[in-house]
Every structure is written in C-alpha cells, then in structure tokens.
Chain A
C-alpha cells in the first residue's frame, strides 16, 4: 500500500439553510477543495460521496455541477460515519494504486427533511420501541454518573467549552458562548440531557482532495499524510457488558494508533463525535486520552480546551459547529488540515503536528453501534 496525502479541503458554513439543496453544499465544498489543492480538475480520477438522507446518486449530481462527469463515482451511506467512510474508500483506492488523485465529498440537507429528533429505525426492534439517539447517550451518560460520580455540570462544561471554540469558527452553526446554567436550564430532551447537551440538526458540505505519494511533490512541499484510516462496525453487546464503554470506538482507536505508529500522547488535537455532551466525555476514555472514569476530570482541568494538553473539538464540534450527518466526518478532516497548516486563525492549535478524527454512528439493537471511523493525519 502507498502513502496517501491530503492536498486540499473545503467546507461550507454549517447551519440551517432550507433554501439550499445538498447539491449546492457539495458543489461549493468541492470547488473550495479543488482550488485549495491547486489541482487540475481533469486530473481527478474518481469521486466518493458520503450522505445519509440525500437519495440516489447525489454524488453524480454534485459532480455534474463541477463538470466532473465520466469518472467513477461512489455513493456511501454509513450513518454519522458516512463522510469519513467515503474518505476511507478514496484512501484505500489511492493507497492501492488504483488512482493518484481522488475527490471526497460529504453532504447533508437535513432542515427540510427532519424537525426535532431524527426518527428511530423502523427496521430494528429497539428503534420500533422508541430508542432515539439522545436516549442512547443519555442512559449511558447517566450510568457514567452512577459509576464514576461524574456530574451533569461536567457534561454541561463540554458544551460550554465547544461553544467557546465555535465562537472562533466562522463556519460554525452556533457561535454564542453559553454557560453551564444555560445548558442545564434548557428544555429537557432525555434525562439528564437538555436540548443544549445535544447537537443540532444541520445542513452543509465538506470536501477533500487526496493524492498518492507518487504525485504529491507535483503539488506541494507541505505534506499532510493520512497515517491511519480505520473503519469498524459494532460487536454484539451482551448482558454484563459495561455500557459506559464504547468498545467499538476503543477498538477503532487502537487499530489507528497501531497503524500510525503513535499514541494518544502524540496527538496535537482531536475532532471527535460529540453528538451529545456525554458522548464527548466518554470518548475521552474510549480514545485513550485519559484512563477510564477520568473524563470528568479532563473537562474540569481544562485539558481538552484550546491551549490545554490535548484540545478536543476546537472547531466547536458537532455540538456547536453543527452535525450535517454526511458532511461531519469530512468537515473534521478539514479542521485538522487547517491546524496542521497553521491556517486555523484565532483557534489555531500552536505547532500542530498530528490530529485524530473520530465518527461513530447508528444505533441498532444488540450491538454497540453501527459504524465507527478513526483517521490520523500527520505533518511529515
């Protein structure tokens, strides 16, 4: 397998834009990524599009807008990991030597489709019983409180931290800094999680241009290498299994660290799947950023704040930047790329050398999650 590099990225502002279509987000994000990469459009050999609810051949609809017709286009659905799964498919094809230059795009237009909580799966027992995403992370978070003494204030602080980060991100959906009192005083969704403990539905798009080691020198001296790109699905959860642990995320992270030849202590920043405040805190532990049970301490001590030991979700995360499902994973990669290049403005993580992105999606009965991706990107 060959090394794979990221040449350019693009991302639209995330938020509620009912007047726009998924194709609009895709076109704009791809345009920016292609300009950023400085590649000739004609040299792009394949395109991969991640989305959840955008219907048949959305990737081809976007490519038509760009005049990128005739090339192989792959459409990918993998719940909240759709965009990052599309990225990984492109990575595999380039690493395998099939293509030297590929385009990845993730898009979602949610605001015209869904209001309030995403509908549960009617093809799954737990979905038909009313298992919605907030309840998944509400009950696991509550168990973390019972088991480790974690408090609702600590969970609320995650939202506060991410709001402070998002205030410095012009592409973020919510840029207003909130307080612990505001977070916990908002409308109750699933006990103990209020609306502000949950990420908002969003629309948006993100894109990346990746290339092989063979051509990277033709484009840039600033080499950003994909050191690991891992995708896993969940395993059977049985009675007795600890519900404060996402073994799915832990396994994916472990594989990524091994492949990249580095550990959590080597990371400069992490963009993780904070669909809920409880998810972010528990993923500190799942990704090995701290020992089990110490997620609360991480946030109390400001370790995951910009300027802290390991800044997490400096983009604002899903909670404040927004969560346009298919775009999320590619947007995380764009954020890491900007930091590795020193282009992240006032939210820049100084001297960033390595960044990790993590997505986890899909609640289905009996297994601990449907899809999970972990990518590690390094500055060579």
Chain B
C-alpha cells in the first residue's frame, strides 16, 4: 500500500536525460567531438571511436516511428497497458520511449512523432517516475 503520510515526489527516470529549454522539453544525449556521432542516453566514452572528448547535445524533438507494441502484462511498477516504441531522430539516434497514448490509432512505421515527458512508472517509495514519451505529430507535422 502507498504510504500517504510521506509526500511523493516526481523524479526523472534517469538524471540528465531530458531538460527544459525555451519552455520545451528536449532529450539530452552526447555528441562525440571526434566522429560527431550522437548517442542517447548520454555516454562518457564514444563507443565508436573510443575518445572521452564528448559534449552534451540537445536532440531533435521530432523523429520517425520505427516499431512499437502495447504491453498488457507489466513488470513491477508499471501500469498496463502501456505502449513502447523505437523512434529514430534526425541525429541518427534510435530512442526507446513510451507511447503517450497506447490507444493511438493508425500508427505506421516512418510516421512523424514528437516528444512529450510524462509518467513512466511508480517506484517502490511511491514516487512518480517521469521520462520520454512520443505522440504522433498533429496533422502530419
């Protein structure tokens, strides 16, 4: 049972993987200064060219839907049903995220999607854990 005497917090799924800029949420990854490739979530060492000379990079808020499914038998902490998807960003990064609406109709590979931040799960202490979600761009963007 939830312990209602303790105030529950809202926490990011991982510190530093999304930030607000100009009033909008952005996913934050890494850009390698040597090969210029982007990675998400952020890394300390570029796995492609094995250098530590990497910098923080804000990633595009829109990308193309690759594949998705709706999970009906959830692992602990998750509330079913929830949709999960892979979205390819223009920076050539493939992001694993939730679907903002698991009931979203007419999803197609290649469809334009945009980032929102929302509830992913609830942790053992009852805190709401938020992270990246994607939804279809209205009117095809």
Contacts and interface: CB of A to CB of B under 8 A. Distances in A.
Contact of B96 (A116, A129, A134, A138): A129
Nearest to B43: A366
A134 B88 contact: no
A48 to B, nearest CB: 30
A342 interface: no
A236 B67 contact: no
Nearest to A195: B73
Interface string B62-96: 00001111111111101000101110110111101
Contact of A128 (B13, B39, B68, B86): B13
Interface residues of B, number: 37
A237 B94 contact: yes
B109 A239 contact: no
B14 interface: yes
B90 to A, nearest CB: 8
Contacts of B82: 130
Q: Helix, strand, loop or mixed for chain B's interface? A: strand
A164 B48 CA distance: 46
Contacts of A241: 94
Nearest to A191: B70
Nearest to A198: B73
B135 interface: no
7 closest cross-chain pairs (CB), A and B? A239-B88, A138-B69, A139-B67, A139-B69, A239-B92, A143-B67, A191-B70
18 contacts: A119-B75, A120-B75, A125-B14, A129-B84, A129-B120, A132-B75, A134-B71, A134-B73, A135-B69, A135-B71, A139-B67, A190-B70, A191-B72, A193-B69, A239-B88, A239-B93, A240-B88, A366-B39
